Amino acid sequence: MPTVRFFAGARAAAGVAEEQVPPGLTLAELAATLASRHGERLGTVLGAAAFLVDGQAWHDRHTPLPAGATIDVLPPFAGG
C-alpha cells in the first residue's frame, strides 16, 4: 500500500505524520480521499502542496500512483 508522509502545514492539518492509503488511487483521488479523512483544512493545504512520489515531482493527476510508493506532501512557504 502507498504511504503518504505529511510535512509542515500538511502535518498539522492531517494530525498525523504519515499514513497508508489504498493502492491504485490517482493523485486527484488521493487528494479527495485525504481531504475527506482529515477535513477541509487539509484539502486547502493540498491545493497548494507539492507531491513527491518516491522523491520525484508527480505531475499527472489521473494516472494511478505506483503500488508501494512513498508520497511526500510538502506545502510551500517562502519566509526568510
Partner 1 sequence: MPLPPLVQPAEALSVDEIRRYSRHLIIPDVATAGQKRLKNARVLCVGAGGLGSPAMMYLAAAGVGTLGIVDFDTVDESNLQRQVIHGQSDVGRSKAESAAASIREINPLVQVVIHNTALDRDNVFEIFRGYDLIVDGTDNFATRYLVNDAAVLLGKPYVWGSIYRFDGQASVFWAGEPANGPCYRCLYPEPPPPGMVPSCAEGGVLGVLCASIGSIQVTEAIKLLTGVGEPLVGRLMVYDALEMSYRTITVRKDPQCVLCGPNATQTELLADYEDFCGAVSEEAVSATLGATITATELKEWQDAGKDLFLVDVREPAEYEIVRIPNSVLIPKGEVVSGEALARLPQDRQIVLYCKSGVRSAEALAAVKAAGFRDAVHVQGGVLGWVRLVDPSLPAY
**CA–CA gap between residue 62 and residue 78 (Å, rounded):** 29
| Chosen residue from 52, 64, 66, 69 binding partner 1 by CB under 8 A | 52
62 is a site residue for partner 1 (CB under 8 A): no
Q: Do the beta carbons of residue 33 and residue 21 sit within 8 Å? A: yes
Residues present in the chain in total: 80
User: Considering CB under 8 A, how many residues would be counted as binding partner 1?
Assistant: 25
- CB of 5: closest distance to partner 1 in angstroms? 8
**CA–CA gap between residue 66 and residue 25 (Å, rounded):** 9
Binding site for partner 1 (CB under 8 A): 5, 7-9, 11, 17, 40, 44, 47-48, 50, 52, 54-57, 59, 72, 74-80
